[in-house]
Amino acid sequence: MQALVKTAAGPGLELVDVPEPEVGPGAVKVRVLRTGICGTDLHIDAWDDWAARAIRAPLVVGHEFVGRVVEVGAAVTKVRPGDLVSGEGHLVCGTCRNCRAGRRHLCVRTVGLGVHTDGAFAEYVVVPEQNAWVHSHPVDLDIAAVFDPFGNAVHTALSFPVLGEDVLITGAGPIGLMAAAVAKHAGARHVVVTDVSEHRLELARKLGVDLALDVSSGRVADAFAALGMSEGFDVGMEMSGQPSALREMIASMTHGGRVAVLGLPAGEIAVDVAAVVQKMITIKGVYGREMFETWYAMSVLLQGGLDIAPVVTHRFHHTGFAEAFATARAGRCGKVVLDWEG
């Protein structure tokens, strides 16, 4: 089969022929139809310091996917051949304290699909049965391919109640955009999104945010007068990983405000802890998806009319992966999808 592989330490990926993966007793084999390019994949392609530490070549990369089940292991009980499935990219041990308590998203031995083990940028991928999310209702393949990052957005957006609240989202990347759509759908009064890319801010406007603010030429405080706010934001979602964004978010929160942080910074961030204490702000770290409560929420939100289609802006055949990765890296896009059919 064809697969996109990090064949050796160093920059670049190669589309090569590799053996099809074999199915273990508790696993399912999926014919991949679409995959989404993630920031993690860009790091692996570029072979930055993180990738050099974390990745062991050769490795089939990729963890965002949708496909049809073609084979199941002898111990599989619920997933069937022919099922359309998206994949949960975090493979958990099932035996640590958190897993046994039902908190699988906090597994201390999590293995990343396409990071620590062969992934989904291939014609076929094998995952444990529990990691295959069966779509029981119609869903567009491009949207199903990005259920993994959509889950990050839902997990972050619903970390705190947003009904009737004023919400600030810093970072209009694909996950920030999807989180904005979720917050509006869940009943937020005002949703403000900040970024320095006018292209991505325009995508935010298409998703119905109340204000998309370019912080290269303005400040978050400008939103107060524009929206008739007086006491700061109730809920913040930091998606950018930029130190200045987190600092400005904390300064812009109301007393008792709550902040969910998903963006990963390149280094340590200095924050005004006195403001956190004096305003009694709650800060929560968010990573991945709650397994599998977030997955239920994603499906229900889509069935309830949530539209995140504007987030997917580009699709390439998998043989055009080099252009697809260049497009994703350039940033004038939303989500970039690879088509593995044909």
Residue numbers belonging to the annotated binding site for NAD(+): 175, 195, 200, 262-264, 286-287
Element (H or E) spanning 288, and its range?
none
Kindly name the residue from 43, 116, 199, 314 that is annotated as catalytic. Answer: 43
What 3-state class would DSSP assign to 287? Answer: coil
Nearest to 145 by CA among 261, 308, 28: 308
Give the tokens for residue 330.
Answer: 């350039």
Q: 236 with 170: CB under 8 angstroms?
A: yes
43: annotated active-site residue? yes
Which residue ranges make up the annotated binding site for Zn(2+)? 38, 63-64, 93, 96, 99, 107
Angle, vertex CA 201, rays to CA 257 and CA 36, nearest 5 = 95
Helix or strand or coil: residue 341? coil
Under 8 Å between Cβ of 27 and 128:
yes
- The residue from 7, 35, 40, 282 that is catalytic is 40
Contact 37, 311 (CB under 8 A): no
Q: Which of 10, 121, 109 is nearest to 67 (CA)?
A: 121
Helices (H), the chain: 39-46, 49-54, 97-100, 141-145, 147-157, 174-185, 198-206, 222-227, 243-252, 273-278, 293-303, 321-330
CA dist., res. 341 & res. 280, Å (int): 52
Which positions make up the binding site?
Answer: 38, 63-64, 93, 96, 99, 107, 175, 195, 200, 262-264, 286-287
Tell me how far apart the alpha carbons of residues 289 and 149 are, in angstroms, rounded to a whole number.
9
Contacts of 81 (CB under 8 A, 6+ apart): 69, 70, 71, 72
How far is CA 37 from its chain centroid? 10
Q: What angle do CA 252, 257, 259 make, to 5 degrees?
A: 85
Catalytic residues: 40, 43
